[in-house]
Amino acid sequence: MGLKNPYLPDIVTITKVIQETPNIKSFQVVFDDPEKMKSFTFQPGQVGQLSVFGVGESTFVINSPPTRKEYLQFSVMKVGEVTSAIHELHEGDKMGLRAPLGNWFPYENMKGKNILFIGGGIGLAPLRTLILFMLDNRKDYGKITILYGARTPVDLCYKEDLKEWESREDLELILTVDNEYPGWTKKVGLVPNVLLEMAPKPDNTVAITCGPPIMIKYTLIALDKLGFKDEDVITTLERRMKCGIGLCGRCNIGSKYVCKDGPVFSLAQLKSLPQEE
Amino acid sequence: MNWDHYMEKRRKPLSEKGLREKISQILKEVDVVISWKMGFDPIHATPHFIRDEKEIEESVFNVFCVHNLTTYLPFMKEKVGIVVKGCDSRTLVQFIQEGLITRENLKIIGIPCSGVVDVKKIMEEIGESPVLQAEILDNSSLKIRTLDGEKFFQIDSVLAQKCKTCRYPTPLIYDHLIGEPIKSQIGWDKAYEDVTEFDKKTLEEKLSFWKKEFEKCIRCYACRNACPLCVCQDRCIAESRDPHFVSQKLELPEKFMFHFIHAIHLAGRCVECGECERACPMGIPVKMMKKKINYEMKQLFDYETGINVDDKPPMYTFKVEEEKIKEHEL
Amino acid sequence: MGRNGFLRKDRLEAYLNNLSKKGGLYVPKEEKGAIVFRKYSGVSELSLKKPATTPAKSIIYLQSETFFRFMFEKEGNGLDKVNVRIQENMDQEIRIIFGARPCDAKGFSVIDRVFIDTDTQDVYYKKRRENSYIATKSCDSPSSGCFCISVGGGPFDEEGSDAQFTEINGGYLIEAITEKGNIFLESELLEPGETYLEEKRKRKEEVERLVKEYCERVGKIEPLSPKLRLFSDEDFWKKHLSKCLSCGVCTYLCPTCYCFNITDEKTFYEGERIRSWDSCMFFHFTLEASGHNPRPDKFKRFRNRVGHKFMFYPERYSGQIACCGCGRCVRFCPVSVDIREIVLELMKSEEGGRE
């Protein structure tokens, strides 16, 4: 057969479509090739390139944890050409998938520590993978706190998961929305502000954050104020990607490619790269 | 062709000192002055953005100042001073017609120009060896020294194609004029002789000609990006997925599609500054297509681009009954 | 046959005719205003006098190629069951390039490191590279704007070439550099080349001296340090790049540029996925679907280009600079942006900016 062609996608079939919010859908897929489905492994945080043949490819984090392998889940927000085309698909439709790509959360180094997840909007997608992975290996980790916010309650993702997490004893879930909303009785406020309010202690804690660029920016400032060290703050980045394997030269920040050396980076790593923006 | 008596005044020496003094004067009223300075070798000038008195010393004006500096204006928010030749000034007039620049924020230094050289032609004659020195002798010839020795050129023999049929050597719009105005003897018919000659070919000959030229095209979009009037560069149809008219294949249909659409988008807007053809690394005569469309613009709408600030480009307006379009005739 | 051979000029046509039988032979041809690599069809338009306008890169790293075709097919009897079948499009053609320059060949070794020396190899490029044979012509003089010696290359540089030929004594001395290069010496039209070696050595010395002199004003370019203060100084970049038109000519004519795009084309029930060259100088290169763009300004894009060639690539590949010094970007830039000038200023700041 020769060397594997990294540009050829595997064919996957959609087994379930979940409407998370008005513009976000989650797609559960299985490989058409049962051997591939059995042998497929990945790490939490890795991504895949989903193709709609004839339209194009786009990068999404593998949303389901490697400990639950009946299907792979991807959450897609409708913003452009490819994501709009994906939103038109139903159960039984075919897509292409190139996975796993990129690096993953350094969960080995987090064992025994407290974990603080800070997510905004669809930013909960990569975090969900790690949260479920950690919950499936609960005893390896200390206190788990999840701070998650969205613009309105309607925009909160994974409502089923949120309900389950709220009822669990072994983690703390804090939900917030940006502004007051009829029927919403929980916290109100932007995620970085609520974080400052919570004032979690940085000792033996790793903070993992993902969300819209502006939320990440202010969250990082807040974490710094609270005394979190750069090596203990982890984030996942987004860039326009095409090849996904570090060849097309597009998604670089300095000498690092977000598709290959990322998308997971620690704040310490990011600070060592050229500050372009 | 005998180009001998086409200019009323032949190649008057320009006072570069006069130019620098004028730049110094207007620098007090604007944030930046765009002029030329010498570039990476003695036969290349390069655009020079002057923000400080010290930088004025380097500015020049000679036959190597081929660039149309007005291309930077639509994207600049500052108060700008600019140096223009005759052909460049037409771009300014067209910008004003289309509302792409604010006249009040602009200070224009006009230079009546006797023509610039086709640098590519010189480089082809010289061969591989780099140019070490270039001198303009009594305003009519060039002495160029390379590693292989010296070569002399009559400026008229290496003049840019567009300059041979120039009808507007003196800028049409300016705040200050450096030098004596120059009048052209070329009439409209003479200027468009290349179009009418080409039109005499059969359809097969024309297609064969363009097929051969576009074989060379590498879709680098230099022609598009060098064009001062092409302001939708960042969202060009050649690369757009929505609407999706052109694929990314490097084949003739795609190339024809891009070039023809580009030319049509410039209908009634192209001022024939020639930057597209100059920027093309493959030597494709892309200006000819736009010239042909300008020829048609004149026949249909009696309109010439970049002449009067009060004109309205015909593709921006419509009349219920067009004089020369017999749309109701079967 | 030995490792070298001499070809008299009057035998060039016959030699190339024979060579063209071994595979697709590509030579630089004069085409009214440009010199481009085309399939060989006789010596009348062959042009070896100047480096070609477009580098030989496009022969092996195609500007536009199909990765695979896909077909939608009905599966079984279900009305809504549609399957997708993929068909890989692997190119097996043998390609022989005769008449590139050493800077072209250096460009290939820059691209090889990215596309082949990795665990996710670009199988299309790799296959074509394996099936290609490159003979470069050594230079007789520097070209306008070139600076190969400054970046570790040279007019007689052998990196990336399978064979090299030098024009001397009314003919060409052809020397094989790699095993593959022997394909250029399998011809009965060649005479023994040993007697010409001394002449070639003298020519090499002379031309290297000329080129070195011409490159003197540039000097030796070392990889830049990413910590350079000037790198993040926006005013420095704005000053140099105000005149840039963001046109992309520099990237399309560069032997070492390799950035690409992947797009899908479809007609009803079938289509293809195409890889095509792209340019980091264009606005949409990093434009995200949300509308956010990390490099909206042209000076930021150019800064990234300089950074990539002289900082980021050397960082990943043990100090190798991703520039072969051919000078095309300087020669063909419509506004004469001079990358050498910018790199020199960066180097001079902060004591040479060595890593």
User: B83 and B211 share a domain?
Assistant: no
Q: What is the mean pLDDT of residues C87-92?
A: 91
- Report how far Cα C33 is from the mean position of its chain's Cα atoms: 21
Strand residues in A71-183 grouped as ranges (E): 72-77, 94-101, 114-120, 144-150, 172-177
A 29-58 residues with CB < 8 A to C: 51, 53-58
Long-range contacts of B1-4 (CB under 8 A, 24+ apart): B1/B164, B3/B156, B3/B159, B3/B164
Residue B150 lies in a domain: no
SS3 A116: strand
User: B178 and B254 share a domain?
Assistant: no
Taking the Cβ of residue B252 and every Cβ of chain C, the question of whether any pair is shorter than 8 Å is answered with no
User: pLDDT tens digits for B124-162?
Assistant: 888 888 999 999 888 788 999 998 889 999 998 999 999
Q: How many domains does chain C have?
A: 1
Q: Determine the Cα angle at B215 with ends B292 and C99, to 5°.
A: 135
Tell me: pLDDT of A16 over 90. Answer: yes
Q: What is the mean pLDDT of residues C283-287?
A: 91
User: B210 and B328 share a domain?
Assistant: yes
Neighbour tally for B76: CB within 10 Å: 17
Q: B13 pLDDT band (50/70/90 cuts)? A: low
**Phi, psi (rounded to 5 degrees) for C33:** 105, -10
Q: In what order do the strands lie in the sheet with C64-74?
A: C82-88, C64-74, C270-277, C260-267
Residue of B241, B244, B247, B248 to mutate when probing chain A, most A C-beta within 10 A: B241
Tell me: pLDDT of B330 over 70. Answer: no
User: B196 and B106 share a domain?
Assistant: no
Exposure of B41 by Cβ count < 10 A (0-12 exposed, 13-18 middle, 19+ buried)? buried
Q: C88 pLDDT band (50/70/90 cuts)? A: very high
Nearest residue of chain C to residue A96 (CA atoms):
C84
Judged by CB atoms closer than 8 Å, whether chains meet at C332 and B45 is answered as no
User: B182 and B196 share a domain?
Assistant: no
User: B258 and B224 share a domain?
Assistant: yes
Judge contact between B180 and B9, C-beta under 8 A.
yes
First to last CA, chain B: 43
Interface predicted TM-score (ipTM) of this complex, two decimals = 0.90
Judged by CB atoms closer than 8 Å, whether chains meet at C247 and B282 is answered as no
User: pLDDT tens digits for B249-260?
Assistant: 999 999 999 999
Taking the Cβ of residue B40 and every Cβ of chain C, the question of whether any pair is shorter than 8 Å is answered with yes
Instruction: Give CATH for domain A10-101.
Output: 2.40.30.10
pLDDT at residue B294 in the model:
94
C248 — alpha (psi -120 to 50), left (phi > 0) or beta?
A: left
Beta-bridge partners for C66: C274
Q: What is the mean pLDDT of residues A37-55?
A: 93
Residue B179 lies in a domain: yes
CA of B242 to nearest chain A CA: how many angstroms apart?
A: 8
Nearest residue of chain A to residue B244 (CA atoms):
A55
pLDDT at residue A49 in the model:
95
Judged by CB atoms closer than 8 Å, whether chains meet at C258 and A277 is answered as no
- Tell me whether strands A187-188 and A172-177 are parallel, antiparallel or unpaired: parallel
Judged by CB atoms closer than 8 Å, whether chains meet at C260 and A248 is answered as yes
SS3 C252: helix
Q: How many domains does chain B have?
A: 2
B 109-138 residues with CB < 8 A to C: 120, 123, 127-131
Taking the Cβ of residue C31 and every Cβ of chain B, the question of whether any pair is shorter than 8 Å is answered with yes
User: pLDDT tens digits for B203-240?
Assistant: 999 999 999 999 999 999 999 999 999 888 778 888 88
* Most distant CA atoms of chain B, gap in Å: 67
CA of C181 to nearest chain B CA: how many angstroms apart?
A: 27
Tell me: pLDDT of B58 over 70. Answer: yes
When the pLDDT of each residue in chain B is averaged and rounded to a whole number, the result is: 89
Chain C residues closer than 8 Å to A240 by CB? 285-289
Q: In what order do the strands lie in the sheet with C4-8?
A: C4-8, C171-176, C163-168, C132-137, C95-100, C24-30, C35-39
Nearest residue of chain A to residue C264 (CA atoms):
A54
Spatial distance between the Cα atoms of B172 and B271, rounded to a whole number of angstroms: 12
User: pLDDT tens digits for A195-217?
Assistant: 999 898 899 999 999 998 889 98
B 165-224 residues with CB < 8 A to C: 213, 215-216, 218-222, 224
pLDDT at residue B11 in the model:
55
Nearest residue of chain B to residue A56 (CA atoms):
B241
Tokens of C114: 């990215």
Judged by CB atoms closer than 8 Å, whether chains meet at C265 and B49 is answered as no
Spatial distance between the Cα atoms of A2 and B319, rounded to a whole number of angstroms: 67
Place of tokens 């939490």: A44
Residue B14 lies in a domain: yes
Domain boundaries, chain A: 10-101, 107-236
**Phi, psi (rounded to 5 degrees) for A14:** -80, 130
Spatial distance between the Cα atoms of C322 and C313, rounded to a whole number of angstroms: 6
User: pLDDT tens digits for A228-274?
Assistant: 999 999 999 889 999 999 999 899 998 999 999 989 999 999 988 88
Residue from the list C226, C285, C289 with its beta carbon closest to the beta carbon of A79? C289
Cβ neighbours of residue A255 closer than 8 Å, sequence gap 6 or more: A273, C226, C311, C312, C313, C315, C316
C127 vs B325, higher pLDDT: C127
User: B233 and B173 share a domain?
Assistant: no
Nearest residue of chain C to residue A12 (CA atoms):
C84
| Among the listed residues B94, B99, B44, B83, the one whose alpha carbon sits nearest the alpha carbon of residue B179 | B83
User: pLDDT tens digits for C187-225?
Assistant: 999 999 899 999 999 999 999 999 999 998 888 999 988
Judged by CB atoms closer than 8 Å, whether chains meet at C330 and B233 is answered as no
- Tell me whether strands A72-77 and A56-61 are parallel, antiparallel or unpaired: unpaired
User: B281 and B180 share a domain?
Assistant: no
User: B284 and B268 share a domain?
Assistant: yes
- Burial letters B18-35, b for 16+ CB under 10 A, else e: ebbebbeebbeebebbbb
User: B263 and B180 share a domain?
Assistant: no
- The amino acid occupying position A7 is Y
Residue from the list B127, B218, B221 with its beta carbon closest to the beta carbon of C63? B218
Q: Number of B:C CB contacts under 8 A? A: 138
- Tell me whether strands A172-177 and A144-150 are parallel, antiparallel or unpaired: parallel
Q: Which domain holds residue B83?
A: 1-114+167-186
CATH of A107-236, one of 3.30.70.1060, 3.40.50.80, 1.20.1260.10, 3.40.50.410: 3.40.50.80
C228 vs B172, higher pLDDT: B172
Spatial distance between the Cα atoms of C73 and C188, rounded to a whole number of angstroms: 55
- Tell me whether strands C163-168 and C132-137 are parallel, antiparallel or unpaired: parallel
Q: What is the mean pLDDT of residues C17-41?
A: 92
**Phi, psi (rounded to 5 degrees) for A253:** -120, 105
Q: At what angle do helices B252-265 and B287-301 cross, to 10 degrees?
A: 40
Judged by CB atoms closer than 8 Å, whether chains meet at C308 and A9 is answered as no
pLDDT at residue C355 in the model:
40
Residue B122 lies in a domain: no
Taking the Cβ of residue C49 and every Cβ of chain B, the question of whether any pair is shorter than 8 Å is answered with yes
